[in-house]
Amino acid sequence: MIETPFWKTKSLAQMSGDEWESLCDGCGRCCLNKLEDWDTGEIAWTNIACTLLDGHSCRCKDYGNRQATVPDCISLTVKAVGEISWLPPTCAYRLVAEGADLYWWHPLVSGDPETVHQAGVSVRGRSVPEDGLDVDDYEDFLVDWPAEGV
């Protein structure tokens, strides 16, 4: 008998710490700098990566201590998932919260952490580090990401 995957039977709030962490598909898009229009709330995506994002693995270089280096790094919580407007439409946290299933390329579905990159959903090879960039120049790095606005 095949067991139903946990993300189909549990809410985000019911997940264990390991289950929660495994929902991250490793796309790296949440670790990109975004620009928000203060008047409209509209989010503009850049390809500027947080100083801690590894551009190849699309994972944080110091996840456990990230807020010591990047104090404004936002920790995803059940509450935050419901409030953050910039989570990618392909984000597993967002999908589970909305009652949707994960995409075929999600490592929990495919069994392979490389499929998120093979599907072209990750930022691998498509980001620049924020180090040395002036915030006033961020508008020069605006991009559209796959499945944005889905």
Backbone angles phi, psi at 129, to 5 degrees: -70, 145
Distances 102 to 56, 58, 72, 148 between C-alpha atoms, Å: 23, 19, 28, 16
Q: pTM of the predicted model, to two decimals?
A: 0.89
Q: Is 52 helix (H, G, I), strand (E, B) or coil?
A: coil
pLDDT 10s digits, 86-133: 899 999 999 999 999 999 999 999 999 999 999 999 999 999 999 999
What's the order of all strands across the beta sheet hosting 32-36? 32-36, 43-49, 128-129
What are the residue boundaries of the structural domains of the chain, listed by start?
A: 6-141
pLDDT 10s digits, 36-81: 888 998 889 999 999 999 999 999 999 999 999 999 999 899 999 9
Q: What is the largest CA-CA distance in the chain?
A: 57
pLDDT 10s digits, 6-38: 999 999 999 999 999 999 999 999 999 999 888
